[in-house]
Structure 1
Amino acid sequence: MKVHVLHENPEWYPPLAAAFDAEGVPHEPWLLGAGPLDLDAVPPEGVYWSRMSASSHTRGNVYAKDHTRAVLSWLEAHGRRVVNGRRVLELEMSKADQLTALRAAGIEVPRTVAVVGRAALLETAGTFPTPFIVKHNQGGKGLGVRRFDSVADLADYLDSADYEPPVDGITLVQEFLEAAQPFITRVEIVGGEFVYAIAADTARGGFTLCPADACAVPTESLFALREDFEHPLIARYLSFAERYGIEVAGFEFIETVDGRAVTYDVNTNTNYNPEIEAAAPRSGPRQVARYLKGLLEDAARGVDG
């Protein structure tokens, strides 16, 4: 009996492996994106944690999300315990899905229009006040996120060599949110509990705010712990996570100049920053390891009868 970690990026695994080892949790990575899947086979016993990333295609793992869909369907059909399972994968892969679900739960999100293809982008952008944002529906690491001060600027970008087409063909046009202070807040949850919140500096980091060590840029850290953080959104995020079966995630929101708290991302492939970990009252990866250890013990008791 072990924890099987489904992912596609070996660079992100060492901090998690260290946490598993420190907590005495047997674990094994399963790299997805290539290879056979015997649908007639029975999956090994254990607990499966899906860490598939929406940005996997940027690392050459173009088929990883579809491979993961098949694997999760197979696991769930056999009754295996899956953390961040099939439904959660779809939230990770589609910001439109995230925003629709958040809005349905009564959580404020940015005004957004999802545009399929390029033809309607300029017309859609013209319905937004300036500045406005465009981003990829399937993204991560700030993929495809750009601010434009006019529709003409967007037109120039679409015709330029810098244009990045979205991998799923869907571009989001979104209202620009002006922060009261130059940072966004990311709220980390594990197993139905709030772990901590961090502030990410948007003045220096722009839209690229991946906290993982593997994403680090050679500059002073963009991230700071929000000590003694309390906010009504914490309870709403926990309720949302329970509703959609999200067990490990980071929720990101902006506190705007006009007094709104607007949630714009649910990262179910959350990573943890080593500097924050050193300062935080409790560790994100260690909380994950402890949570999965408990699930593994429950699964073992079920197997033992």
Structure 2
Amino acid sequence: MKKIYIIHENNEWTDHLTKRLDQLQLPYESWHLDQGIIDLTTQPPEGVFYNRMSASSHTRNHRFAPELTGGVLSWLELHGRKVFNGSKALSLELSKINQYTALTKNGIRTPKTIGAVGTDQIIQAAERLGTVPFITKHNRAGKGLGVQLFQSVDSLKAYILSEEFEESIDGITLIQEYIQSEDSFITRAEFVGGKFIYAVKVDTSNGFELCPADSCQIGDAFCPVGEEAIEKPKFEIIDSVDKSLIAKYELFLADQQIDVAGIEFIANANGEAFTYDVNTNTNYNADAEAKADIYGMMKLAQFLGQELNES
């Protein structure tokens, strides 16, 4: 029997999808790829495959899950299986440099960014950038890992040479111009099947870690989601969003063969939008969705079900 196969490494992020698949009575199987075997002497099962491998898997002790997933996706694609968020999407998930080059190729503005490997090179990159303040971030990350704000190169030097410095899992640190939002918020546009479903306004006044998943409330001070009442919601689905930018995003996703994604951008005081993150392992905030009565995981489950029926 054909099934929907979910490729991942975090049950907490996948449970929301499987609940919707159960609700729709769709057959599925979970492939948790923190460990596994790729048997190239066999053919994959029939069905449709949805990859939601995360760049932050190493923070859950799943260091080689992305590499294993890359091999599995190559195997699936070799045999012509229908894969959503395949090898090309995984390449972008694991590298912000790859994201920025692909975005730029599609005419989408990104912040000025320099990548560096090595302590001296990171400092040189900040000097070469020539703008303050600036931020550092990990090239391979998730949930805002490694994001630090600096007001000077000297403060960066002190951080880089201290025990507090945290190196990216791939060794590449990014130095990036800091885009100041007038109202301290960013916007995340969500897409399923390559098409826009909604935009969510995210309050950034308390920090950079912007993971919208409900599970982020566990041990994550900058992801206060769930049922706790707060005066100002961190995540709020909004109606007003630049339609021309959304159109560019849809063309970008088609060009990069990405089916499901959350794309984050920030506008400066002049209203100029800068796109800085493409998350191909997108999650949704339950509180914001309930208030707006729109549900990303249901849209995704319906999309996968339709594709399964047509396969």
Q: What per-residue deviation string (whole Å, max 9, x for no partner) do you get for residues 197-217 of structure 1?
A: 00110102x110100001124
Q: Where does structure 1 differ by over 4 angstroms across 4 or more consecutive aligned residues? A: none
SS of corresponding position for 2:205? helix
- Report how far residue 161 of structure 1 moved: 1.8
Distance, in Å, in 2 between the alignment partners of 1:240 and 1:38 is 33
**How far apart in 1 are the matches of 2:57 and 2:252?**
25
Question: Given residue 75 of structure 1, which amino acid in structure 2 is its aligned partner?
Answer: L
2:61 matched residue in structure 1 = 60
After TM superposition, list the pairs within 5 Å mapping 1:169-180 onto structure 2. 169-180=171-182
Aligned to 1:101: 102
Aligned to 2:83: 82
Q: Which amino acid aligns with 2:64?
A: Y
Equivalent residue of 1:126, what SS? helix
User: In structure 2, what is the equivalent of residue 236 of structure 1?
Assistant: 248
The match for 1:154 is 156
| Aligned with 1:131 (options 130, 133, 138) | 133
Letter in 1 for 2:131: P
Root-mean-square deviation (Å): 1.2
Q: How many Å separate the matches in 1 of 2:124 and 2:240?
A: 45
After superposing the two structures, state which structure 1 stretch, 195-204 or 115-124, moved more.
Answer: 115-124
Aligned to 2:111: 110
What amino acid maps onto 1:232 in structure 2?
S
Note if contact 1:182-1:202 (Cα within 8 Å) is conserved in structure 2: yes
Residue of structure 1 in register with 2:11 after alignment: 10
Give the match for residue 279 of structure 1: 291
How much identity, in percent, do the aligned residues show?
A: 47
Asked if 2 retains the 8 angstrom alpha-carbon contact of 1:196 and 1:229, the reply is no
SS in 1 for 2:198: strand
Q: Structure 1: how far apart are the matches of 2:268 and 2:57?
A: 31
Q: CA deviation at 1:228?
A: 4.7
CA distance in 1 between counterparts of 2:241 and 2:96 reads 26
What is the aligned length?
A: 298
Query: Does the alignment pair 1:269 with 2:281?
Result: yes
Q: Which residue of 1 aligns with 2:36?
A: 35
Distance in 1, matches of 2:289 and 2:46, equals: 31
Do 1:196 and 1:280's aligned partners in 2 also have CA atoms closer than 8 Å?
Answer: no
Write the mapping of 1:198-277 to structure 2, written as runs, cut at 5 A.
Answer: 198-204=200-206, 206-216=207-217, 217-218=223-224, 220=230, 221-277=233-289
Structure 1 residue runs without a partner (length 5+): 300-305
What are the superposed Cα offsets for residues 117-145 of structure 1, whole Å, 9 maximum, x if unpaired? 22211111113211101100001011001
Name the counterpart of 2:220. Answer: none
Q: Distance in 2 between matches of 1:192 and 1:264?
A: 19
Match of 2:210, as an amino acid? Answer: L
Separation (CA, whole Å) in 2 of partners of 1:251 and 1:190: 12
Instruction: Tell me, in whole angstroms, the C-alpha distance in 2 between the residues paired with 1:289 and 1:87.
Output: 22
Superposed CA deviations along residues 173-218 of structure 1, whole A, max 9, x for unmatched, are: 10010112210000001013211100110102x1101000011245
Whole-angstrom distance in 2 between the partners of 1:117 and 1:74 = 35
Secondary structure at the counterpart of residue 119 of structure 1: helix
- Write the distance in 2 (CA, Å) between the matches of 1:37 and 1:175: 41
- SS across alignment from 1:37: coil
Q: Note the C-alpha offset of 1:19.
A: 1.2
Instruction: Normalising by structure 2, report the TM-score.
Output: 0.93
Deviation string 1:98-128 (CA, Å, 9 cap, x unpaired) is: 0011011110100001112222111111132
Structure 1 residues 23-64: Cα deviation after superposition (integer angstroms, max 9, x where no partner):
222111100121222111111111100000000011100000
**5+ residue gaps in structure 2?**
218-222
Q: Which moved more, 1:222-231 or 1:28-37?
A: 222-231
Q: Which moved more, 1:65-74 or 1:277-286?
A: 277-286
CA distance in 1, matches of 2:191, 2:25: 22
TM superposition score normalised by structure 1: 0.95
Structure 2 CA distance for aligned equivalents of residues 77 and 24 of structure 1: 29
Could you tell me which of 171, 174, 183 is aligned with 2:185? 183
